[in-house]
Amino acid sequence: MAETIVFIIFAAVALVGAIAIVAAKNPVYSAIGLLSTMFSIAVMYVLLDAHFVAIVQVIVYAGAVMTLFLFVIMLIGVDKPDAYGPAVPAQRIMTAVVSVGLFASIALAGRAAWVTGSDAFGTPNLNGTIENVSDELFGTWTVVFLATVMLLTIAAVGTIALAYFGHEVEDEEAVL
Amino acid sequence: MSIFIEAGIRVIVAFVFLLITVLLLVWVERKFVSDLQNRVGPDRAGPWGILQTLADGLKSFMKESIRPSNAEMALFIAAPIVALLTALLIFLVIPIGAPIEINGTLYPLVAMDLNIGLLYILAISSIAVYAITFAGWASGSKYPLIGSVRSAAQMISYEAAMGLALVPVVIFAGSTSIATIVEQQGGTFFGFIPAWNIVLVPSFVIFLIAGFAETNRPPFDLVEAEQEIVGGYHTEYSGFLFALFFLAEYIAVFNISALTATLFFGGWNGPVFGPTWLTYLLPIFWFLLKTWAFVLFFVWVRASLPRMRYDQLMSFGWKKLIPVALAWIILVAIAIGVRDFGMPWS
């Protein structure tokens, strides 16, 4: 019962946040909408007993990614909210078509038998969420995990390489 | 329903404890700083001026909260509330004493013992950045904005160092639950040296430095550098809303001190003797003693060190603290691997 109430409240918050992202005139309020949606999704993970995933969602998305978003919005867009119209012609119509398609496929998927909720996997071991995740990562999926690590490292090195090389850096302090 | 009542009691007790602590903390800081600077300090309200904070708090309640005409009101009011909430929430996972047994049931002296306790602390402290960012932006004035942008950059940078400094602690303890980390420090080396995590010295130093930066305390208080940007993010705040920011900052100082004592100095572990009631009170005493030692250290540093320059702050965080933390993680991981699995050639 309590779980259902919590779910309804945070589902509502997530939806309101999602609408605010596209509807808000001021980009800062769009960012706050995105933030509240991410929080509500973290609460959903807690309800599904995935505590580790929930906390990572908060640290990575709500903590790091959104702070950088807000940082950029406040620095460059602080004086000119409301200055951007649709970038692509007929954007609204295309968005509507895509959204209807998405909702239709979600509804279809909900009717299919494989969406049965967390009970399908049995009762998870609450005290071992982190242990379970790490067992999977470093036991079953070691190769895939290492490949992802390599990919992320290459991406990070590539970003620095693109920023640093190709043009003369005169003053190292200016780069910082 | 009883589970909700118990949780409610725990949370309320923790919050009341924090608020009383802060009343004392602000007075201790002012008295200690004035002693270090050869001044008298507050001495009018109550004996030795101990009621000064209460008087200041009442005064800020009475004062008008000025609303700047350029401010975004909703966020302007939300920011100090977010600041206070995040500061209060972090304390909930810190155990303040040994579990107490009543009628055969063990009650841990912690508001909630999460198995992801350390990650929870990192998550909540990353939310704390928003309070300052919102405050700076919603004030609609340029000094707060500069202050909040500084703080966002500073807190993100030092959060990385803080998280990396905690990794060796987790590897060492084999758990991210704070209660477990404290219990693991209960033993002794050679029978008399307490087996605290302070053996991880580099972690402790990095955590403490990052803690100073996270709480925006001197020497990392360029978020509110008076000579350059007036008061930083809280320039436009007054009255009650300012008091909330003030409260949040001091709770954060207490939290970082309590965390340092808990993670590296054994938390409530210490010599316990005497009748049953004393075995329950002594761990609380040890925890408070260690925590207040670090609180005084915070104040001592504030009175001693000048403020850092912004580029010094950034290059110190990214070019020194984080590489050292990474190297230390690799060393600890190898050491623990050798301890558990033996040498790679054996």
Question: Could you tell me if residue A105 is inside a domain?
Answer: no
Closest by alpha carbon to B260, among B329, B192, B162?
B162
Residues B119, A55: C-beta atoms closer than 8 Å: yes
Question: Could you tell me if residue A111 is inside a domain?
Answer: no
Residues A126, B115: C-beta atoms closer than 8 Å: yes
Select from B115, B136, B156 the Cβ nearest to the Cβ of A67: B156
When divided into structural domains, chain A yields a total of 2
Question: Could you tell me if residue A128 is inside a domain?
Answer: no
Question: Could you tell me if residue A93 is inside a domain?
Answer: no
Answer with the residue of higher pLDDT: A79 or B96.
B96
Domain boundary pick from A79, A107, A127? A79
User: Residue A58 above 80 pLDDT?
Assistant: yes
User: Residue A112 above 80 pLDDT?
Assistant: no
A2 and A75 assigned to the same domain: yes
Domain holding A167, by residue range, is: 141-176
Q: Which residue of A has its CA nearest to B115?
A: A127
Taking residues B308-324, report their average pLDDT.
Answer: 86
Q: Which of A45, A55, A153 best tests the B interface by mutation, with the highest count of B CBs <10 A?
A: A55
Question: Could you tell me if residue A18 is inside a domain?
Answer: yes
Domain boundary pick from A79, A97, A118? A79
- Predicted complex ipTM: 0.76
Average pLDDT score, chain B = 84
Closest by alpha carbon to A62, among B252, B156, B71, B116?
B156
Question: Could you tell me if residue A149 is inside a domain?
Answer: yes
Taking residues A58-86, report their average pLDDT.
Answer: 72
Residues B148, A74: C-beta atoms closer than 8 Å: yes
A2 and A74 assigned to the same domain: yes
Query: The domain spanning residue A48 has which CATH number?
Result: 1.20.120.1200
What tens digit of pLDDT does each residue of B155-207 get?
Answer: 888 888 888 988 888 888 888 888 888 888 877 777 677 777 777 888 889 99
H-helix segments, chain A: 2-23, 27-47, 51-56, 66-76, 91-111, 129-135, 142-164, 172-175
Q: Which residues pair with B188 in a beta bridge?
A: B194
* All residues at 6 or more sequence positions from A22 whose CB lies less than 8 Å from its CB, including other chains: A30
Domain boundary pick from A79, A106, A127? A79
Give the pLDDT score at A148.
Answer: 92
Taking residues B42-54, report their average pLDDT.
Answer: 81
Question: Could you tell me if residue A63 is inside a domain?
Answer: yes
Please tell me if residue B115 touches chain A, with a CB cutoff of 8 Å: yes
What tens digit of pLDDT does each residue of B250-290 get?
Answer: 899 999 999 998 888 887 877 777 787 777 788 888 888 88
Give the pLDDT score at A149.
Answer: 92
Minimal C-alpha gap between A111 and chain B (Å): 35
User: Residue B233 above 50 pLDDT?
Assistant: yes
φ/ψ region of A140 (left if φ > 0, alpha if ψ in -120 to 50, else beta) reads alpha
- What is the widest separation between alpha-carbon atoms in chain B? 73
Give the pLDDT score at A120.
Answer: 46
Answer yes or no: are the C-beta atoms of B308 and B223 closer than 8 Å: no
Give the pLDDT score at A173.
Answer: 55
Question: Could you tell me if residue A117 is inside a domain?
Answer: no
Residue whose structure tokens are 């119509």: A93
Give the pLDDT score at A88.
Answer: 67
Give the pLDDT score at A171.
Answer: 55
